[in-house]
């Protein structure tokens, strides 16, 4: 199976990538599968900060509701 916490060279998880792209459906899927919403990349960014930077309001709202 897929490792939810696998990262790329920036230490971005699949959740971070989906959040940064504003893909709410994939974000929900990954969160429901147990993805770590508090993971941080090498710059200290999380899925929440990446979504906020890109202006993905629906993703930001969803991630804040999980806090």
Domain extent for 44: 14-65
Residue 7 falls inside a structural domain: no
Q: Within 10 A of 41 (CB to CB), how many other CB atoms are there?
A: 17
Q: Kindly report the CATH number assigned to the domain that includes residue 54.
A: 1.25.40.20
Q: What percent of the chain has pLDDT over 90?
A: 81
- Answer yes or no: is 9 within a domain: no
Integer Rg of the chain from CA: 11
Alpha carbon separation from 15 to 37, 51 (Å, rounded): 7, 10
Average per-residue pLDDT for the chain: 93
14-41: average pLDDT: 96
Count: domains in the chain:
1
pTM attached to this predicted model: 0.90
On whether residue 25 sits in a domain, the answer given is: yes
Give the total residue count for the chain.
Answer: 67
Q: Which token pair is 45? A: 């960014």
Instruction: Identify the pLDDT of residue 4.
Output: 78
Please check the confidence at residue 26 and state whether its pLDDT lies above 90: yes
- Residue 42 near residue 9 (C-beta atoms within 8 A): no
pLDDT confidence bin for 7, thresholds 50/70/90 = confident
């Amino acid at each position: 199976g897929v490792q939810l916490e696998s990262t790329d060279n920036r230490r971005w998880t699949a959740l971070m990538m989906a959040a940064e792209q504003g893909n709410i459906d994939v974000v929900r899927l990954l969160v429901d599968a147990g993805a770590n919403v508090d993971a941080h990349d090498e710059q200290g960014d999380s899925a929440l900060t990446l979504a906020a930077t890109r202006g993905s309001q629906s993703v930001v709202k969803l991630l804040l509701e999980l806090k």
